[in-house]
Amino acid sequence: MRVRRKSTSGVSTMATDYDIIVVGGGIAGSALAANMAQEGARTLVLEREERFRDRIRGEYVFPWGMAEAQSLGIVGALEAAGAHSVPSFEIVGMGPPRDLSQTTMQGVPSYGFYHPAAQEALVEHAETAGAEVNRGARVTSVLPGDEPAVRLRNGGDEATLRARLVVGADGRSSLCRKALGKEETHIHDGRLLAGVLLDNVKLEDEHMALVGLIPGTGAMTLVFPQGGGRARSYIADRGTSEDRLQGPGAFDRFVQIAASCGISPNIFENAEIAGPLGTFAADDSWVDHPYADGVALIGDAAGISDPTWGQGLSVGWRDVRVLRDQLCNSDDWDAAGHAYADVHDEYFGRIITAESWQQQMFLDSGPEADERRARALPLLAEDPTRGPDILFSGPDLPVNEEVRRRFFGEDQLEPA
Ligand SMILES: Cc1cc2nc3c(=O)[nH]c(=O)nc-3n(C[C@H](O)[C@H](O)[C@H](O)COP(=O)(O)OP(=O)(O)OC[C@H]3O[C@@H](n4cnc5c(N)ncnc54)[C@H](O)[C@@H]3O)c2cc1C
């Protein structure tokens, strides 16, 4: 595939400064920039950070996300930045560990990596592929239109640049999302996610992700190894802002909650805190149809799915692949943007639904949730294929009423 340009009608591409301006050099923006530059597009990445830092996020990629990464040609760059394969997945006390390379649709393991190193590697990869990268450049406004533009500031310099397409890959507080002026959907149910990076974690198997949870308590602990004794650990819990675990002083409480979820405190015995300890709202938020007037949104800018379920990186790379393919298959980039947005809504919607099922099954409390679990969990233990595998194998699996009823064991209920 090569990028096609309109020569006779429509947008005059040569009047623009670039084919694509990507706002944000995160994992989604850099992957898109690398791919589009490889296809011959004049590509600019604007990234406000001179140096990436630990933002407590985005380091465990499920198998379907790694398959997306493969299709984008970025696995080599991630491995060179220390990405570590994590083929096993164990929910403590709920049966033997699962071998993801054998049991997912893609037949590949999960991976863990240090997010700032991966971001750095992908920006470099984009540059090597031919994209121009402007670090320290903060986009201050986005102007949708036939020839969309961005205004930016870098140090004392200001500029306005035009492109055939502006791609908003500027993360959770996306300016590009706001510029589109679309209505946002926000789901906030008061759950929190606290995370910290640790060294000297004593894991029996550094290639196994651990999950500890006591269904119905609302609390869950996740341990994602990155190799060499390093792991990222998270605690998902219900809570108010006073319950936020914040700063190194909160680590003892972190270990206590982990233990209450069934994670042995021994693994944290000699652990050293290797980054900030902070807490985030475990919310979903998105806009429908993340394209309008020459501006496409990808990654978190398009849709944030509750980070408890670790789908953000995978969805971001799916966005990149779908948008790339639409842009490379058409010289009408407005139509390509709309086609991307249509497809995005379908798979993003399936992810949100699949996450809500997991939450209802494992985290929700109350009599209705207890009754659901009493019916469904024994059936699931007997026949794991009752569990929809969307979070591991991706949103191409069916997500419908029949799948939901089977997961919740409602297909075994006597007709009323
Ligand atoms: C606590 C937590 C844990 C998570 N854990 C996981 C996990 O285990 N697995 C998983 O798959 N996902 C996880 N996620 C989600 C994942 O981190 C995100 O989905 C992913 O990082 C989104 O990538 P992105 O490229 O869209 O945005 P980002 O990674 O946020 O990148 C956006 C980039 O844009 C830049 N930028 C922003 N505004 C501007 C501007 N105005 N001008 C120029 N540059 C700008 C930023 O500096 C940044 O580099 C987690 C999220 C959280 C909050």
CA 199 to ligand 1 centroid distance, Å: 23
CA 88 to ligand 1 centroid distance, Å: 25
C-alpha span between 153 and 156 (Å, rounded): 7
Residue identified by tokens 């670090």 is 135
Identify the residue whose C-alpha is closest to ligand 1 atom 53. 57
Q: Which atom of ligand 1 is nearest to the CA of 316?
A: 26
* Domains of the chain, residue spans: 13-50+112-187+283-352, 191-281
Q: How many Cβ atoms sit within 10 Å of the Cβ of residue 412?
A: 12
Ligand 1 pocket check: which of 62, 152, 245, 313 to mutate, most ligand atoms within 8 Å of Cβ? 313
Fold of 191-281: Alpha-Beta Plaits (3.30.70)
- Residue 3's pLDDT is 76
Q: Alpha carbon of 389 to those of 42, 130, 404: distances in Å? A: 39, 37, 12
The conformational region for residue 82 under phi > 0 = left, psi -120 to 50 = alpha, else beta, is left
Identify the residue whose C-alpha is closest to ligand 1 atom 37. 170
- Residue 10's pLDDT is 36
Q: What is the CA radius of gyration of the chain?
A: 22
CA 379 to ligand 1 centroid distance, Å: 37
Determine the CATH number of domain 13-50+112-187+283-352: 3.50.50.60
CA distance between the termini of the chain: 56
Q: Which atom of ligand 1 is nearest to the CA of 232?
A: 8
8 Å CB contact between 254 and 196 = yes
Q: How many Cβ atoms sit within 10 Å of the Cβ of residue 383?
A: 10
Identify the residue whose C-alpha is closest to ligand 1 atom 2. 57
CA 368 to ligand 1 centroid distance, Å: 35
Decide: residue 402, CB within 10 A, 0-12 exposed, 13-18 middle, 19+ buried.
exposed
Q: Which atom of ligand 1 is nearest to the CA of 193?
A: 1
CA 110 to ligand 1 centroid distance, Å: 19
pLDDT in tens, the chain (416 residues): 677 765 433 333 446 799 999 999 999 999 999 999 999 999 999 999 999 999 999 899 999 999 999 999 999 999 999 999 999 999 999 989 999 999 999 999 999 999 999 999 999 999 999 999 999 999 999 999 999 999 999 999 999 999 999 999 999 999 999 999 999 999 998 899 999 999 999 999 999 999 999 998 999 999 999 999 999 999 999 877 677 999 999 999 999 999 999 999 999 999 999 999 999 999 999 999 999 999 999 999 999 999 999 999 999 999 999 999 999 999 999 999 999 999 999 999 999 999 999 999 999 999 999 999 999 999 999 999 999 999 999 999 999 999 999 999 999 998 77
C-alpha span between 326 and 331 (Å, rounded): 9
- Residue 2's pLDDT is 73
